């Protein structure tokens, strides 16, 4: 593997490790994006606030304190101080794309291209994962239907055992019969 390919792979893995799921959306945090772009978080947030009309709720939202607590409790982030006391902005894939319009540096554009490629790979993986889940659901249905047959068979087997027990009980309830045949010393 060439050195350049290895660096790209490491960069993609670094980006992938910074994608979280909040409110059912795959997002990246302002702090992580600022680090990738090589700017301060405060600068990134100021640029977003100056262009807030470009970021509807499905592009960017602020994390609630409950969501922050959830991320801390799940060890996604080490502590609340990770955010420096401010509530973080969460950017969806579309929000990250919009950031490239307002952060017009060469680094921001290159990083955005990498981030979008990682989001696309995550989506492709999710689709593959979905197909696997659909196959598992199909297999589960087949197992459940065969289990219904097994349940019917097990009821038949239970009935057989009940009849056998009844026969054994009847036999033990009857007095023992005299043995037939030659008896010495009679």
Distance CA 70, CA 106 (A): 35
Give how far Cα 123 sits from Cα of 55, 105, 126, 167, Å: 22, 27, 5, 65
Is residue 62 a part of any domain in this protein? yes
Is residue 151 a part of any domain in this protein? no
Model pTM?
A: 0.59
Is residue 154 a part of any domain in this protein? no
**Sequence-distant (≥ 6) Cβ neighbours of residue 42 within 8 angstroms:** none
pLDDT of 52: 92
Query: Chain centroid to CA 158: how far?
Result: 42
Distance CA 35, CA 75 (A): 20
Is residue 161 a part of any domain in this protein? no
pLDDT of 87: 85
Query: Chain centroid to CA 130: how far?
Result: 11
Is residue 148 a part of any domain in this protein? no
**Sequence-distant (≥ 6) Cβ neighbours of residue 185 within 8 angstroms:** none
Is residue 50 a part of any domain in this protein? yes
DSSP assignment, residue 19?
E
Is residue 159 a part of any domain in this protein? no
pLDDT of 19: 84
Domain range for 43 is: 3-133
Alpha-helical runs (H) found in the chain: 3-16, 30-37, 41-50, 65-73, 93-102, 106-173
| 108 burial level (CB within 10 Å; 0-12, 13-18, 19+) | buried
pLDDT of 115: 83
Number of domains forming the structure of the chain: 1
Distance CA 25, CA 20 (A): 8
Is residue 30 a part of any domain in this protein? yes
pLDDT of 53: 92
Write out the chain's pLDDT in tens, 186 residues: 566 665 666 677 778 888 888 888 888 888 888 888 888 888 889 999 999 999 999 999 998 888 888 877 776 666 666 667 788 899 998 898 888 788 777 777 788 788 888 888 877 776 676 676 677 667 667 666 665 666 666 676 777 767 766 666 665 555 556 666 666 775
């Amino acid at each position: 593997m060439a050195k350049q390919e290895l660096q790209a792979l490491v960069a993609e893995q670094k980006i992938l490790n910074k994608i979280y799921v909040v409110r059912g959306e795959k997002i990246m945090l302002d702090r992580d994006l600022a680090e990738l772009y090589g700017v301060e978080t405060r600068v990134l947030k100021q640029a977003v606030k100056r262009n807030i009309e470009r970021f509807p709720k499905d592009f960017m939202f602020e994390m609630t304190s409950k969501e922050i607590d959830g991320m801390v409790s799940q060890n996604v982030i080490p502590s609340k101080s990770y955010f420096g006391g401010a509530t973080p902005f969460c950017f969806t894939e579309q929000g990250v794309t919009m950031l490239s319009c307002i952060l017009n540096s060469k680094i921001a554009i290159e990083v955005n291209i990498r981030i979008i490629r990682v989001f696309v790979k995550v989506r492709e993986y999710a689709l593959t994962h979905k197909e696997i889940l659909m196959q598992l659901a199909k297999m589960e249905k087949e197992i459940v239907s065969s289990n219904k047959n097994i349940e019917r068979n097990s009821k038949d087997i239970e009935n057989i055992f009940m009849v056998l027990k009844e026969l054994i009980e009847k036999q033990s309830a009857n007095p023992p019969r005299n043995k037939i045949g030659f008896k010495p010393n009679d």
